[in-house]
Structure 1
Amino acid sequence: MPRYRLLAAVLLILAGCTSQPPAQFAPEAQLAPNALLDGRLFGVGPADAPEDPGLLEVNDDMRAFLAERVPERASDSRKVDLILEGILAGGLELEYDNLLTLPASEAFYRRAGNCMSFTNLFLALAREAGVRASYQEVMVPPTWTEGDNAWFYNLHVNVLVDLPGAEQVVDFNIGEYLRAYPRRLISDEAGESRYHNNLGVHYMTHDDPARAFLHFRQALVLQPGAGHVWTNLGTLYRRQGALAEAETAFRHAIELDREPVAMSNLARLYREQGMPSLAADYARQVERLRSKNPYYQYYRAKQSYDAGAYAAAQRHLERALRKQAKDHRFHHLMAMILTRRHQPELARKFLRQAEALAGDGDKQRYGDKLDLLAGS
């Protein structure tokens, strides 16, 4: 899995719906969403909370680090370069560790962390140096698994730097970042909510439900409308066998923002509880939404291409390109398909488009393929 995905919420949940089912399980299924936040099931009180992480706090050691490496009169662009050099090269030499979700100061001292840790550290140092920078959420496309009607959905966060007359994206794994991905600026509170959500997922997958709950609840204190957090909270309740609470959380996630991952969890819950009609209804809605997703069509196109079904691959990819025409990989795969279908002129057209949209490394690769096609 690419590094940049590990900053995401690590959601194991699926697509949205347009309607809500009637009451399920028992009368207690009619819970108010806020009733899920009292913590009694996990043995914690309403006032219990994780320690304040001081997510973007800068201390004297960090200021000394900046003073040694970043001149005050340097341009903002130069400051960004020097901070990155200090973090990744001759200064801290920060090492990637996907298990470490850390505030800025802890990442500074431990010289390690995952994408969230790197983002917090860079953002804190950049602002201390006078550079305008913000959290940026990137909607990384989901990835699919065969046989279980499920996809893995990722909410990636990096940094957007506001430079005079320009913008610069700073990402721990910039080679995997694509400009085609939808993105938006988010507040510091939303960034901290994602930090707590990540920790909640970590503790949930390490069998510490009480700590997981505290972090999910804190994430919702910071961002009550975060549907993906409600979905993860539903997963936590489901793991505890609290099915009515899980159902309420999943339904609330869908109600808030048609959360694109809660649906399959709800369909699975109904299927396992012997409610096949409800499960099938939600599964159909999942399939309809999935079929409209250009990255799912791209995934299907790759499957068909690998199987030698080039006409089917082309049909899937044409659907994908109608929805998303700025991803260089779509154009590259179309060029490959058209080459297999003995249409070299059209293949060259798509490969030139792939080259125009790609980053430096892929540009060279596509240019080499164009040379090969030109000689064919």
Structure 2
Amino acid sequence: MKIKNPLRLAIPALLAAQATLVFANSPYTATADPLQPYYQQLVTQSLEKQQGRLDLSKVPDVADVDILAINQEIKDFLDQQVRPIPGLRERAFMLHNLLFRPYYLGITYDDSQTYTAQETFDKGAGNCISHASLFVAAARYVGLKAKFQVVEVPRDWVQSEDYYIVPGHINVAVYIPGNKITVEFSDVYLAQHTQFFKSKAVSDTRALAEYYNNRGMEAMQLKDYLSAIAYMQKSLKTHRNSGFVWSNLGVVYKINGHMAEAQQAYERGLKLDKQNLSIINNAYILYYQTGQLDKAQSLAAKVESYSKKNPYYLAKLASADINLHNYKQAVTKLKRAISKKPEEPAFHFTLSHVYYLLGNQDLAVRQLQIGQKNAINNEDQQRFQHKLNLLQHYQAGL
């Protein structure tokens, strides 16, 4: 179909997450890096933090799920409110309004829960994949051609205890004669922007695999590792060519001491997606920690480039500098980290502390004020204010 004039519909999106292990060693393994002893210590600590080995024979079964099934109640609602609208474009916009606008059903965004289309309707909330599934199911029922769509978005990192989560993105495309409507679901990504990102329509099978992967990621965050493995294996049985799911499975194996299984999973992922920097990073760390230095070295250049883009990795380098009293180098790295993720409170607190160590209390106060301005919730704003009060009282000699 030739798309003459793309349209935009600001509705929610679907999240496809992948995990990258906390990078705890230097990529510069072939050079005499003055920080190398510090990284060697971090590597040792990382290995010591691994969980006890899981009994993989106890991995539960995961029942088949139809994420697009909707009941008669939803169908009756759509028959009354949406299907009678004659224009396809107008029908798509009305469907959006009815499902997500607060003055209609007002289904809300909750990034902590992955639901099917039916569950999203019943609970009135869900994350991106939940919203996308409901919209696709409802749109098809009222005669719209709707597909899940993978979108390449700027890389971001969300820190967890033992790994980072690198969010992906899937939205919905609705095709009408001569046009494509890009459908988004949250304020994280705007349709006005994502319509210009590289995107690709994907099958329902791929979307179902994303659903199982998300459920596995949620279980991993709860440290329910057997369920995490079960859901990721289910994802791979559904769609075996998802390299990042193999990598996620490898992360779970590695956290729980199954190094051989982790390596096998990473290498399966790399065969499918040779350019995925999260998989490359995860494989590099495993090779380095298990003494496979030739294999690690073959990935080192790509890992170095990847790591420099990760604000949390830059903050780790800054922490190493602080431990070695290299405060000016720490300032440089922390500024780079803040430029990549200004809403992260820890970066501002650490930079303020470094300024204080350098004897510049004015800059320390100023950095706390900048952090408070960038804080995205009241709790973080109050933490900044508490630190500001303490530092300003100290300056005043109180």
Q: TM-score range by the shorter chain?
A: 0.5 to 0.7
Partner of 1:267: 284
Q: Distance in 2 between matches of 1:128 and 1:5?
A: 19
Partner of 1:58: 70
Contact 1:126 1:133 in 2 (8 A): yes
Q: From the superposition, tell whether residues 190 and 69 of structure 1 become closer, same or farther in structure 2 (CA, over 3 Å).
A: same
Q: Aligned match of 2:104 in 91, 109, 119?
A: 91
- CA deviation string 1:38-85 (max 9, x = no partner): x961513xxx63222220012111012212311434211111111111
- CA deviation string 1:344-375 (max 9, x = no partner): xxxxxxxxxxxxxxxxxxxxxxxxxxxxxxxx
Q: Aligned match of 2:203 in 187, 200, 222?
A: 187
Q: From the superposition, tell whether residues 237 and 132 of structure 1 become closer, same or farther in structure 2 (CA, over 3 Å).
A: same
Contact 1:86 1:93 in 2 (8 A): yes
Question: Bigger shift: 151-160 or 187-196?
Answer: 151-160
**Cα displacement (A) at 1:91:** 2.7
Q: Distance in 2 between matches of 1:274 and 1:82?
A: 59
Amino acid in structure 2 at the alignment position of 1:171: E
Q: Distance in 1 between matches of 2:239 and 2:157?
A: 28
In the comparison of the two structures, how many residue pairs are matched? 273
Partner of 2:304: 287
Contact 2:232 2:249 in 1 (8 A): yes
Q: From the superposition, tell whether residues 144 and 192 of structure 1 become closer, same or farther in structure 2 (CA, over 3 Å).
A: closer
Q: From the superposition, tell whether residues 4 and 284 of structure 1 become closer, same or farther in structure 2 (CA, over 3 Å).
A: farther
Q: Aligned match of 1:233 in 237, 245, 249?
A: 249
Q: From the superposition, tell whether residues 5 and 133 of structure 1 become closer, same or farther in structure 2 (CA, over 3 Å).
A: closer
Query: Counterparts of 1:345-360 in structure 2 under 5 Å?
Result: none
Q: State the identity as a percent.
A: 29
TM-score of the pair, normalised by structure 1:
0.64
Q: Distance in 2 between matches of 1:193 and 1:140?
A: 20
Partner of 2:214: 198
Q: Aligned match of 2:258 in 242, 261, 269?
A: 242
Partner of 2:144: 131
Amino acid in structure 2 at the alignment position of 1:223: H
**Cα displacement (A) at 1:167:** 0.4
Amino acid in structure 2 at the alignment position of 1:133: A
Q: Distance in 1 between matches of 2:68 and 2:185?
A: 17
Q: From the superposition, tell whether residues 42 and 91 of structure 1 become closer, same or farther in structure 2 (CA, over 3 Å).
A: farther
Q: Distance in 2 between matches of 1:175 and 1:211?
A: 28
TM-score of the pair, normalised by structure 2:
0.61
Query: Counterparts of 1:29-40 in structure 2 under 5 Å?
Result: none
Contact 2:151 2:198 in 1 (8 A): yes
Q: From the superposition, tell whether residues 241 and 191 of structure 1 become closer, same or farther in structure 2 (CA, over 3 Å).
A: same
RMSD of aligned Cα (Å): 3.6
Match status 1:12 vs 2:20: yes
Contact 1:50 1:214 in 2 (8 A): yes
- CA deviation string 1:176-224 (max 9, x = no partner): 2324321100000000000000001111121112211121111111111
Contact 2:121 2:134 in 1 (8 A): yes
**Cα displacement (A) at 1:13:** 5.7
Contact 1:141 1:153 in 2 (8 A): no
**Cα displacement (A) at 1:8:** 2.3
Q: Distance in 1 between matches of 2:61 and 2:58?
A: 12
Amino acid in structure 2 at the alignment position of 1:279: A
Q: Distance in 2 between matches of 1:143 and 1:102?
A: 24
Gaps of 5+ in 2: 1-10, 23-53, 315-330, 337-398
Q: Distance in 1 between matches of 2:14 and 2:83?
A: 33
Amino acid in structure 1 at the alignment position of 2:129: M
